[in-house]
């Protein structure tokens, strides 16, 4: 099986021989293609004048060109730029692009159709730090361990070519080129192929709200790509709604199709859609999701996960059959923030919005999805945030206790196991992993990895200094980093040691206490697969929650949490009970139904329990009755 996405730009190897090159630069002429034939130490580089069409595309077909050739575009002012639609840039973002025969890889997953979203258990990873080698090939060798754990979906942080040898990926500038530091396009395809062979879906994170600050040549020769009427933290916004925006929109719509068709991915995670500026009648997010579902989504499961700080449930609407109209799900930061306050006690910054009643906020997020559904946010100085999520199914929310953001945006990249109460953390994991939400783990979380995940990059000298200084100044508003001496301890993002210190140590999985956490996560995911997933397909609408304050003289402080969800069409229900407060709570009414998971909970009668602090009891009831 050979796969290639046809697109109206970039370099395309022709079946009849030769390569067609196309570049959109309406206001630039003449443009010259500079080509270095494969094995250019023998054959000299050649220059080819391109033809500018009425559509703003410069084009040429070079009959003697072939896969492996390297090429750039030379502008009238002498600027030499890589192809913005490059499939591969072996010498980084400032170097030449390489012609790739997209159909050359021989796939082995012909029968793969993906998996229903109800089966998703996501594992977010960064290719560069997931293994010591930091490559697609090394990551491929670790996939079997994730499948054995109970993971069903790999979510890879952005792969678009970024400047330097190390980056989180959100500074990508070549949207079609997997970063060469991770390996070749065929190595990425082999990673996806192997994942599918293990029953794992693969999503990649895409950044359609901005380009990175280094290596983006579009500003220099194609100003039509940006709309100065919309300003963002990164300068003029990508032009999704201004003059000539149709070609820009096509660039990103094709990018989504490219990853799903040419790399046979199972969908995307769209970064920070709240930062996209688009006032057109059809928002670019909707055009992308509709195009994916109308194309590859007709024959296999395709999923799109959104990150949206604004909690806009309108991007998560379902049709009459319960199928997503736009996004399949959204990262549920509200749940994370409440859980973080609950397990660590931290209330700085946006955590202050969840400080007053973290158990209640956590319960609301579990039951209803968003905590903020149009209420004023104290952290945002009273500005209202969010839309009602009461009508959405629980599967519209990807919920977690950690992500790359929530770890890496801390000064030292601390993981939650280094900060939180382990007793409460175990209870929180049970609540998240056994809820009807789609759960997500960040790499290494399954065994409480000791390594941090720090912010790292590899910019050129001038930008590197500004980034390092800016990061340290950013933390200056916190009392802990009020002095120059304290801020100087914050790791330099551009230092290689910051990157190397963030790499996982896989050997920890076999040692305590890491092995104990690994056993817990594996047990919870096994219970989820056996007792929860079979009942999720028809789940719709919010659940309900309550917090009990006093039980038979024992002060529980409002920290006994109950959550109930109605599940599938058979009117079954899932009940969850957890003690996040009192050392021991006596006489707690046992949830109805069959117990599917219990921890630190002892029967004290036919219908009551003694719950230790961190105790959890989860039951499944055949007929719904709150």
Q: pLDDT digit string (tens) for 120-164?
A: 999 999 999 999 999 999 999 999 999 999 999 999 999 999 999
Neighbours of 279 (CB within 10 A): 11
Q: Is the pLDDT of residue 557 over 90?
A: no
Average pLDDT over residues 402-411: 95
Percent of the chain predicted with pLDDT > 90: 88
**pLDDT band at residue 555 using 50, 70 and 90 as cut-offs:** very low
Residue 570 pLDDT more than 70? no
User: Which residue is listed with tokens 């140590």?
Assistant: 505
Phi, psi of 211 (to 5 degrees): -105, 155
pLDDT at position 554 is 45
pLDDT value at 553 more than 90: no
Average pLDDT over residues 190-194: 98
Task: Give yes or no for residue 479 having a pLDDT over 80.
Answer: no
Calpha distance 287→289 (Å, rounded): 6
pLDDT at 487 over 70: yes
Exposed/middle/buried for residue 319 (C-beta within 10 Å: 0-12, 13-18, 19+): exposed
List, in sequence order, every residue forming a beta bridge with 619; answer none if it has no partner.
575, 595
Between 284-294 and 245-262, two packed helices, what is the crossing angle to 10 degrees? 40
What DSSP line would sit under 250-273, residue for residue? HHHHHHHHHHHHHS---EEEETTG
Q: Which pLDDT does position 625 carry in this prediction?
A: 53
Categorise residue 78: left if φ over 0, alpha if ψ from -120 to 50, beta otherwise: left
Would you list the domain boundaries of the chain? 10-98
Tokens of 121: 């258990």
327 or 556, which is more confident: 327
User: 238 and 198 in contact (C-beta within 8 Å)?
Assistant: no
The residues carrying an active-site annotation are 271, 307
CA 379 to chain CA centroid, nearest Å = 24
Contact 436, 145 (CB under 8 A): no
More confident residue, 493 or 538: 493
Using pLDDT thresholds of 50, 70 and 90, give the confidence band for residue 462: confident
Write down the pLDDT at residue 474.
85
- Mean pLDDT of all residues in 91-100: 98
| Of 136, 169, 139, the residue nearest 456 (C-alpha) | 169
- At the top level of CATH, the class of 10-98 is mainly beta
User: What percent of the chain is modeled with pLDDT above 70?
Assistant: 97
Query: Is the alpha carbon torsion for 464, 468, 469, 471 positive or negative?
Result: positive
The DSSP call for residue 307 is -
- Mean pLDDT of all residues in the chain? 94
CA atoms 548, 554, 559, 560: torsion sign: negative
pLDDT higher at 486 or 218: 218
Q: How far apart are the first and last CA of the chain?
A: 51
| 42-51, 60-69, 189-198, 200-209: the lowest-pLDDT one | 42-51
Q: Give 626's pLDDT tier (boundaries 50, 70, 90).
A: very low
Higher pLDDT, 614 or 43: 614
């Amino acid at each position: 099986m050979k796969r290639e996405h046809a697109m109206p730009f970039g370099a395309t190897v022709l079946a009849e021989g030769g390569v067609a090159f196309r570049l959109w630069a309406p206001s630039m002429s003449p443009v010259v293609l500079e080509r270095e034939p494969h094995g250019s130490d023998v054959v000299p580089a050649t220059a080819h004048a391109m033809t500018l069409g009425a559509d703003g595309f410069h084009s040429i077909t070079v009959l003697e060109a072939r896969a492996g050739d390297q090429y750039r575009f030379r502008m009238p002012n002498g600027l030499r730029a890589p192809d913005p639609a490059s499939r591969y840039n072996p010498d980084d973002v400032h170097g030449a692009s390489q012609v790739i025969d997209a159909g050359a890889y021989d796939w082995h997953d012909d029968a793969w159709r993906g998996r229903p979203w109800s089966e998703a258990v996501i594992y977010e990873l960064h290719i560069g730090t997931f293994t010591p080698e930091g490559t697609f090939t090394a990551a491929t060798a670790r996939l079997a361990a994730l499948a054995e754990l109970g993971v069903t979906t790999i979510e890879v942080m952005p792969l678009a070519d970024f400047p330097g040898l190390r980056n989180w990926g959100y500074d990508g500038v070549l949207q079609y080129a997997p970063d060469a530091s991770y390996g070749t396009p065929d190595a990425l395809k082999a990673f996806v192929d192997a994942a599918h062979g293990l029953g794992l879906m693969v999503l990649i994170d895409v950044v359609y709200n901005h380009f990175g600050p280094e290596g983006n040549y579009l500003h220099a020769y194609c100003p039509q790509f940006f709309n100065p009427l919309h300003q963002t933290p990164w300068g003029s916004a990508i032009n999704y709604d201004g003059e000539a925006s149709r070609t820009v929109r096509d660039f990103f719509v094709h990018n989504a199709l490219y990853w799903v068709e040419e790399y046979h991915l199972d969908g995307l995670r769209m970064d920070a859609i709240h930062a996209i500026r688009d006032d057109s009648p059809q928002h670019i997010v909707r055009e992308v999701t509709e195009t994916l579902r109308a194309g590859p989504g007709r024959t296999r499961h395709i999923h799109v996960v959104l990150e949206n700080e604004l909690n806009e449930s309108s991007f998560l609407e379902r049709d009459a059959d319960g199928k997503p109209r736009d996004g399949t799900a959204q990262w549920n930061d509200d749940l994370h923030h409440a859980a973080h306050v609950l397990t660590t006690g931290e209330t700085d910054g946006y955590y202050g919005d969840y400080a007053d009643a973290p158990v209640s906020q956590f319960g609301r997020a579990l039951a209803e999805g968003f905590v903020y559904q149009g209420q004023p946010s104290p952290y945002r100085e009273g500005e209202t945030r969010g839309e009602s999520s009461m009508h959405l199914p629980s599967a519209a929310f990807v919920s977690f206790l950690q992500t790359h953001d929530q770890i890496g945006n801390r000064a030292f990249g601390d993981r939650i196991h280094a900060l939180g109460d382990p007793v409460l953390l175990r209870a929180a994991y049970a609540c998240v992993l056994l809820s009807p939400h789609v759960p997500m783990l960040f790499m290494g979380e399954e065994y409480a990895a000791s390594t941090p995940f720090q912010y790292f990059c590899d910019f050129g000298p001038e930008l590197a200094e500004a980034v390092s200084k800016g990061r340290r100044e950013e933390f200056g508003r916190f009392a802990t980093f009020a002095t120059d001496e304290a801020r100087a301890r914050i790791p330099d993002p551009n230092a290689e040691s910051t990157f190397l210190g963030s790499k996982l140590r896989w050997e920890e999985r076999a040692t305590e206490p890491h092995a104990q956490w690994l056993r817990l996560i594996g047990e919870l995911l096994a219970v989820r697969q056996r007792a929860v997933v079979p009942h999720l397909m028809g789940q719709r609408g919010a659940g309900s929650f309550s917090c009990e304050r006093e039980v038979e003289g024992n002060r529980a402080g409002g920290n006994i949490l109950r959550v109930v969800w109605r599940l599938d069409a058979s009117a079954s229900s899932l009940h969850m009970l957890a003690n996040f407060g009192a050392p021991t709570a006596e006489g707690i009414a046992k949830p109805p139904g069959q117990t599917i998971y219990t921890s630190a909970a002892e029967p004290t009668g036919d219908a009551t329990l003694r719950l230790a602090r961190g105790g959890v009891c989860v039951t499944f009831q055949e007929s719904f009755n709150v």
